[in-house]
Structure 1
């Protein structure tokens, strides 16, 4: 009545249903583990330099360089369903046209709980420039240390670990 292929099909369908139920339970249970990491972020200096634009050598474009200190304890975010963390420093400002910009200026991937205590003092990893070619007249910026928790199973979770206490203005540009 039932051949071997239909029995194998029934068993594999049952096992895959059990596996999907288990994965759904794991994904839903990771919402129960809410952690609040804490950190400290200070911007020690901001320097704006007028340099040549990449594609147009005769056009000047302002590039912002900043020195910052990050101290963050992200170990509460690591549990049995955490694969890795993507930690990044983001500058939030509104340009002269009134458009809100969010620019990533530094990032790091944390793969182990032992590396989850982040202590970094340095400068921005990526170029920080405004599309209008100048930071003149741009309102002050807020800086935020954010993270993206990547689980083995489930949805990505975003959060904030630290924020500067005051908005920091851009100084006038200097010539190279």
Structure 2
């Protein structure tokens, strides 16, 4: 006869197998949901400044500050199995020796209405989120982004400390879907079944401006004074 421990172990193994199979089935249902994300992104204002990486550092580095506008429709990424969506924008360029450089300049987390309680937000914003989700499996405005002259969350630099006048820079929109059950999925370069690749989401190529020096500022101020004088 089997001992009580052996019987308990068999029951636990059976329910673990059932839970695993059920979870795999739930995750597989996402494959049939259509994904058709799209976005348009462009730069508004670009600056290159010089600053210290740490307050106690004597060495200064060049930092690029890129403001941008973004219109994106990521609502198709929200299904009943979507817990939250992580959206971020990167600046990408090719450096010396054909090295690929990528730096995040902005990001945001968009939760499913059923997961709003997991987000650390204020009570007023929480009431608005609950109100928008009343009677809806997924609020229709989730995943719709409209940003104008958006200030970046992060300034970008380079290990060399120099980034001014870098050419062929592009901004790119990315997303990461976190499901309730299943694997994390990122934006794809190619379509796969009902999952379509991102339509758009890449800006035109641009060049970072030169670093503004004290001499250039003095020249600009002198030109402005000259223009203001009457002949």
Q: Distance in 2 between matches of 1:6 and 1:134?
A: 65
| Stretch moving more, 7-16 or 128-137 | 7-16
More helix by share: 2
Q: Distance in 2 between matches of 1:60 and 1:35?
A: 45
Q: Distance in 1 between matches of 2:213 and 2:199?
A: 35
User: What are the within-5 Å matches in structure 2 for residues 145-160 of structure 1?
Assistant: 145-159=173-187, 160=198
- How big is each residue's C-alpha offset from its partner over 1:135-174, in whole Å with a ceiling of 9 and x where there is no partner? 2452221110100011112111111464334211111111
Q: What's the counterpart of residue 103 of structure 1?
A: 103
Q: Which runs of 5+ in 1 are unaligned?
A: none
| Stretch moving more, 42-51 or 141-150 | 42-51
- TM-score normalised by L of structure 1: 0.86
| Stretch moving more, 63-72 or 102-111 | 63-72
Q: 1:163 to 1:128 in 2, by over 3 A?
A: same
* Equivalences, count: 175
2:160 to 116, 121, 132: 132
More strand by share: 1
Report whether the alignment pairs 1:117 with 2:155: no
SS across alignment from 1:30: helix
When Rg is computed on C-alpha atoms for both structures, the one with the higher figure is: 2
Contact 1:86 1:148 in 2 (8 A): yes
Q: Distance in 2 between matches of 1:175 and 1:26?
A: 58
What RMSD in Å do the two structures reach over aligned CA positions? Answer: 2.2
- TM-score normalised by L of structure 2: 0.67
